[in-house]
Amino acid sequence: MSQILSIQELIELTGDRVRAAGDAGGGGGGGGMFELETEHILQVHVDGHVWIKAGGMIAYRGEMKFEREGLLSQGLGTLLKKAVSGEGASLTKAQGRGHLFLADKGKRVTLLELKNEQIFVNGSDLLCIEPRVKHEIVMMKKVSAIMSGGLFNVRLTGPGIIAITTHHRALSLPVTPEQPVFTDPQATVAWSGTLRPELRTDIQLKSLIGRGSGESFQMRFQGHGFVLVQPYEEHPLQAD
């Protein structure tokens, strides 16, 4: 039942174009560490450890213990720095042997294979990371001057498999130097590691439609790559 996608297959599967019937994209089968039980539930075969979203565990079989990332990262620069997303979500280390079941508010789960590639994922949309994937918390430049609470993302570098979540079916948009893409930060899920977004604010729109609107706060992507958005706004942005 599991379907692991490459970045190219993710783009093809979610791209804004009509595909031939039956062209669903997708690659490799199950039998690995990750397996989709349903579109909304991920099963992880743990034999050692795995990083998961705090609060993502809904059930498990076997012997398992859980430690919050903040307790593990002090003094260890190779592990995730202590960071909090807009929802207060952080990562937890699940360690042991058994079958771990993960979900996040009924969101759709997508397995993505990184092949010596890099991707950025919104902190609230990252469900699980294979131990071999390198990961680091980053914050958008100049964001603290625009919003309270900050905007944290996770930089992930393969090889390895990650699980991301979206509300409903996501949409990928190609980005080129000639055609930059602007997105609502609240609906932005992930983007290519080759892109460095800038956060913009439209003062005129903010005064017209109120604080925290996705139209008044925008992310600008320019370069070569893609950006993944969902038909849902995660949480409101607050201006200082």
pLDDT of residue 43: 95
Could you tell me the CATH number of the domain that includes residue 195? Answer: 3.60.160.10
Q: Does a structural domain hold residue 194? A: yes
Among residues 221, 218, 230, the alpha carbon closest in space to that of 143 is found at: 218
Q: Does a structural domain hold residue 236? A: no
How many residues are present in the chain? 240
Query: What does R_g of the chain's alpha carbons equal in angstroms?
Result: 18
Q: Does a structural domain hold residue 239? A: no
Q: Does a structural domain hold residue 234? A: no
Q: Could you tell me what percent of the chain has a pLDDT over 70?
A: 70
Query: For residues 32-57, b (16+ Cβ closer than 10 Å) or e, as one string?
Result: ebbbbeeeebbbbbbeeebbbbbebb
Q: Does a structural domain hold residue 240? A: no
Number of domains in the chain: 1
| Containing structural domain, residue 85 | 4-229
Residue 85 has pLDDT above 60, yes or no: no
Reported as a single tens digit per residue, the pLDDT across 17-73 is 543 333 333 333 345 899 999 999 999 999 999 999 989 999 999 999 998 865 344
pLDDT of residue 1: 54
Amino acid at 226: F
- Dihedrals phi, psi of 21, to nearest 5 degrees: -60, 135
**Token reading at 167:** 């509300």
Pair 72, 95: CB distance under 8 Å: no
Q: Does a structural domain hold residue 235? A: no
Global pTM value: 0.78
Reported as a single tens digit per residue, the pLDDT across 133-161 is 999 888 765 554 344 334 678 999 999 99
